Amino acid sequence: MSKQYFFQAGSFPTLSYVELVSVFQLYGLSKDNIHLFTGNIFLIKSDDVTEETLSKVFNRLGGFVRYGEIIENTETFLKKFEESEDRVVFGISLLGELDRSDARKDNTFIKKLANQIKKGLRESGVTTRFLIPKGSGFELNAAQVINNNILEKGFELSIIKNHQRGKEIYGNTIAIQDLEGYVERDMNRPYSDIKMGVLPPKLARMMVNFAGLKEGTIWDPFCGSGTILMEAAVLGYNFLGSDTDENALYYTEENIKWLNKQGYLGDIIYELFKLDVTNPDKEVIKELKNTKIDAVVCEPFMGPPQKNVVSKEKDEQLLNLVKGLYLSLFKMLDDEVGVRGSKMVLIIPSYKTDDGWKTFSIYDVISNRWKLLNSELSPNKDLKWGRKNSIITRNIYILQRT
């Protein structure tokens, strides 16, 4: 019987799904292999997908927390560890859609199961150490799994529930997201300008993946401190970064140098240059015309981070600014640079105002030479990134220049 795998998405499952579809396409895999089990758990069912490929896919993804194989028979699975000569370290997590009204029952169940496994292995002469979620949590976090070497010295058993359908499956974690790497790039890079607004690196990674490029050059024309470009570099793409602000370019340069010291850059070719999209320099345009750009991935200026609901006037001002930047960018791309066949991934903000949520339509800024791909990639074409109480939501659009 063919193996089945699970992928656990992060906080924005719709975005994660589109990312998975985009990366699957890179490996020649169809999105028909991806099935939603519940909420943030996707199952991969296919005879054509190897574990080696899935591991490569998983390691690229920004929107997924863990992936593993579905265990058909738990007893057979646990038997493998009965022969172990070293101490087995194992963990248990409860994933999927849980019945939150019965949290205590779930916690007791995890504890009981862990002790049962421990006892079973002890009877075979195997010593064990186990980790289970603490407090009100149900799953081990990435640091717990990684720092305790659970995947190397034993296993993490995931019980994946679909409470509504009364279904439950078991999974064995194969890999967990490199959370440390993201935190390192977010917090420990030399420059990060909060005033300018910094994209979360995981979202930057997803956006780069949405472009669905096998290889090639990615351009961020509003590069800020280089968050998108850093993720493009980690994935091995060549890149161009431009901004109207000299400080931003300096920050990006220093951040990229820092990334190089971490051993990421290899033979990647990149260039950073000053460019005001509203008044582009002719010489720069000439250079760009002669450069093959495979995707433009960007977030424009979104205004300073907002703590309170935006007033109607302020909102209009911010949205007009963003709209103006995009109109200039698309004019430059269509009329001057020429980017036929290129992909584009961009963010349009929505602001929470005292008069409800406000944004503008993507069709206000693109010509009919651009095709919107959102609905081809996902049944839910509204791709949004926004925390519950935030004042700004990012709407993401994936386009292709025909």
Ligand X SMILES: C[S@@+](CC[C@H](N)C(=O)[O-])C[C@H]1O[C@@H](n2cnc3c(N)ncnc32)[C@H](O)[C@@H]1O
Residue with Cβ nearer ligand X (91 or 224) = 224
Neighbouring CB atoms inside 10 A of 182's CB total 19
Residue nearest to ligand X (CB): 224
- List CB contacts of 372: < 8 A, sequence separation 6 or more: 362, 366, 397, 398, 399
Q: Which of 70, 89, 151, 196 binds ligand X (CB under 6 A)?
A: 196
CB nearer ligand X, residue 106 or residue 276: 276
Q: How far is the CB of 91 from ligand X (least distance, A)?
A: 34
Q: How far is the CB of 28 from ligand X (least distance, A)?
A: 31
Tokens of 214: 């096998």
Compute the distance between CA of residue 348 and CA of residue 298 in angstroms, rounded to an integer. 10
Question: Mask 83-112, x = binds ligand X (CB under 6 A)?
Answer: ------------------------------
Per rule CB under 6 A, is residue 253 in the interface with ligand X? no
For ligand X, which is the closer residue by CB, 243 or 294?
Answer: 243
302 binds ligand X (CB under 6 A): yes
Asked if 224 interacts with ligand X (CB under 6 A), we say yes
Window 325-344: residues binding ligand X (CB under 6 A): 325
Answer yes or no whether residue 243 interacts with ligand X by CB under 6 A. Answer: yes
Question: Token pair of 173, please?
Answer: 């974690």
211 binds ligand X (CB under 6 A): no
Per-residue binder mask for ligand X (CB under 6 A), 274-293, x = binder: -xxxx---------------
Which residue in the set 21, 29, 176, 198 belongs to the binding site for ligand X (CB under 6 A)?
Answer: 198
49 binds ligand X (CB under 6 A): no
Least distance to ligand X from the beta carbon of 339, Å? 17
Stretch that binds ligand X, among 159-167, 172-180, 288-296, 298-306 (CB under 6 A): 298-306
Could you say whether residue 345 binds ligand X (CB under 6 A)? no
Q: List the one residue out of 144, 149, 251, 146 whose CA is nearest residue 191.
A: 251
199 lies in the site for ligand X, by CB under 6 A: yes
Q: Whose Cβ is closer to ligand X: residue 161's or residue 205's?
A: 205
Q: Is 27 near ligand X (CB under 6 A)?
A: no
Candidate ranges 9-17, 32-40, 111-119, 237-245; the one touching ligand X (CB under 6 A):
237-245
Locate 295 and state its tokens. Answer: 């995707």
Q: List contacts with ligand X (CB under 6 A).
A: 196-199, 222, 224-228, 243-245, 248, 275-278, 299-302, 325
